[in-house]
Chains A and B, each alone.
Chain A
Amino acid sequence: MLTAALEIAFVLIAVAQALNLYRLVRGPDLCDRILALDTLGISAIALLVLFGIRTASTAYFEAALLLALLGFVGTVALCKFLLRGDIIE
């Protein structure tokens, strides 16, 4: 049952990432692209955790945490750039 649930979840998140990618390419505004990139990162975290369950290995948590950290810092830096035209003032 767990294997079936994992397969379903992989497919659902793959479709979700395709939709995020559509928004990333389509835009129209820069804010939409930043939001799409952030959401791509978050669904990548979900995929990594699911892959960790599937392989029953705990090695993927660090990667997921790192992805969460980098995604957050990247989004904040890009928003700051849009707001101020500069990242570090």
Chain B
Amino acid sequence: MSPLSETIVAALIVLGALFVLLGSVGLARLPDFLTRLHGPTKATTAGVGAILLASAIFFSSGDSQTISLHELAILLFLFITAPITAHLLAKAALHRQATGTETVDAETPATGEREAPD
């Protein structure tokens, strides 16, 4: 493995792990559900994307001189499904807000402080 590709792989791994951490910090720290939904979406696309790209480069630059495409399948699947899950979660959360079945605690702003739905 050449020093150049090793540097690229190492940089992508650390960058991806940082994004995963930032997404989870967003999930743990942000005040209400729809803002919390925002964080992990970045963790999925940028974080896991960078790590899978690093893995693809790592296994492509080995001795066997073959290009590794397994990671791209995972990457494609995650990129397709991430917006679908986010959309469904937002829909479920709005449904629960509208029907008044959601549970809130002290860290969630009261309904009066939120923006009006329309």
Contacts and interface: CB of A to CB of B under 8 A. Distances in A.
A66 to B, nearest CB: 10
Contact of A61 (B11, B14, B47, B74): B74
Contact of B17 (A9, A28, A30): A9
A79 B20 contact: no
B18 interface: yes
Interface residues of A, number: 51
B88 A53 contact: no
Contacts, number: 168
Nearest to B3: A1
A68 to B, nearest CB: 5
Interface string B63-91: 00000101101100110010011001101
A17 B13 contact: no
Most chain B CB inside 10 Å of its own CB: which residue of A43, A46, A83? A46
Interface SS of chain A: helix
Given A1-B10, A45-B48, A79-B88, A19 B102 contact: no
What are the nearest 5 A-B pairs in CB distance?
Answer: A9-B17, A5-B10, A16-B24, A79-B88, A61-B70
Interface of B: 6-7, 9-11, 13-14, 16-18, 20-21, 23-25, 27-28, 33, 36-37, 40, 43-44, 47-48, 51-52, 54-55, 58-59, 62, 68, 70-71, 73-74, 77-78, 81, 84-85, 88-89, 91-93, 95-96, 102-105, 108
